[in-house]
Structure 1
Amino acid sequence: MLDPILNKLLKKPLCSAAKQLIKRGATADSVTVAGFVIGILAVPAIIYGQYVLALCLILLNRLGDGLDGAIARETSPSDAGGFLDITLDFIFYSAIVFAFVCANPVDNAIAGSFLMLSFMGTGGSFLAFAIMASKHGIDSPNYPQKSLHYMGGLAEGFETILVLCLFCLFPSQFVLIASVFAAICWLTAIIRIWVGYHTLVATKDS
């Protein structure tokens, strides 16, 4: 929901940092992979109760996610890079939730499973429409820099990361936070399915 606003605010500083990294030989794909590895290290940190460390690793992962796109725009964006980025992002999101389930399975298992299921709703509707949008030449005006069509919603990248950070800051409230965000994700999925379906029907009829 807030991703377009944040993208505009962060574009200049990320581009400046990207140029410095490019001078040092960094590539978009290498930053994507490095950011993913750093983010995944938050999983054992969470399982062993090191929530501050996990929070720092999550934030570093998101910094890498912003920098890889900026580097790609400064060099040569590729479909392969976009594919790698979005795939590792989805794995990372679910991995953090899974870590909290492992940390306290008795209390967190149901809420965590429900949240990961809701990620299938948001992710599935997002990727399915992206495929069809590419096939029909449907543009994404809010995200023209992306390598695939970005369908917006109430729960996007910023909201997801905010929730992952809240988990680390308030681990005892995982069930409440996860349940509320899962409901928001399902609402997002329903809206995407409705809008996506009718958009494609209108495209076919036009």
Structure 2
Amino acid sequence: MLDRWTMPLTQAPLSLIAKWLMAWEVRPDRVTLAAFVIGMLSLPLLAMEWYAAALVAILLNRLGDGVDGALARLTGRASDAGGFLDIGLDFVFYAAVVLGFALADPASNALAAAFLLFAFIGTGTSFLAFAIMATRHGLERPRFQQKAFYYLHGLTEGTETILAFVLFCLLPNHFALLATLFAMACLITTTTRLWGGYRTLRELEDARGERRTGSR
């Protein structure tokens, strides 16, 4: 929900970092992989309840996730392969953070973590399934041209996920409540994406069917 406002604000600083990396001939995919490795450090750090260190790893991962796209565009290396790698590793990272909190305190956090992972399955599959269909229908990305995939809006997007992770780390004793609330928001996102995606694709198919019928 907030991405449409936050993403334009972050492009200028991300581009500055990307230009510095471009001068050192760093490839975008290497930034993606480095950010993923750093982000995955949050799993053992969370399990050991080193929440401040885990938060640093999470924020560095998110920084790298923005820089790799900016670098790809500056160097003309934007590609479907890079976009696929980026989104695939993102979902693994998201799940790792939630697992880290479950391992930190299984008795208090495991159920809420499982509920959040369940909700993540919904947001992730609805996002990617529509992206596949959008590509087949040639749909454009008017608001998020920097995304590798068609970006179907929802209540919980990238900005909300980062904010949730920050809150989890700052208030680890309240993880169960915060994760449950965020999971419920993710389920709302899943519902609206499924309904919105279905309606969009159905309208496209009906319109094309009418054009084929009218041309006969």
Taking structure 1 as the reference length, what is the TM-score of the superposition? 0.98
Q: Cα offset for 1:119?
A: 0.3
| Structure 2, gaps ≥5 residues long | 208-216
Amino acid at match of 1:102: L
Amino acid at match of 1:150: Y
Q: Cα offset for 1:9?
A: 0.6
Q: Name which one, 1 or 2, has greater alpha-carbon Rg.
A: 2
Map 1:83-102 onto structure 2 (within 5 A): 83-102=84-103
* Count of residue pairs the alignment pairs up: 206
- Distance of 1:144 and 1:44 partners within structure 2: 35
Matched with 1:77 is 78
Taking structure 2 as the reference length, what is the TM-score of the superposition? 0.94
Matched with 1:129 is 130
- Distance of 1:97 and 1:33 partners within structure 2: 20
Secondary structure at 1:142 match in 2 = coil
- Distance of 1:27 and 1:150 partners within structure 2: 24
Q: Cα offset for 1:203?
A: 0.4
| Structure 1, gaps ≥5 residues long | none
Matched with 2:8 is 8
Runs of 4+ in 1 over 6 A off after TM superposition: none
- Distance of 1:26 and 1:4 partners within structure 2: 28
Map 1:41-120 onto structure 2 (within 5 A): 41-75=41-75, 76-120=77-121
Q: Cα offset for 1:90?
A: 0.4
Q: Over residues 129-185 of structure 1, what are the superposed CA-to-partner deviations in whole Å (9 max), with x where a residue is unaligned? A: 000000001112111122211111110011011111111100000010000000000
Amino acid at match of 2:145: P
Q: Does 1:23 align with 2:23?
A: yes
- Distance of 1:6 and 1:72 partners within structure 2: 20
- Distance of 1:166 and 1:145 partners within structure 2: 27
Secondary structure at 2:122 match in 1 = helix
Matched with 2:172 is 171
Q: Cα offset for 1:191?
A: 0.2
Secondary structure at 1:111 match in 2 = helix
Q: Over residues 28-83 of structure 1, what are the superposed CA-to-partner deviations in whole Å (9 max), with x where a residue is unaligned? A: 10000000000000111111111000011101111101100100110120000000
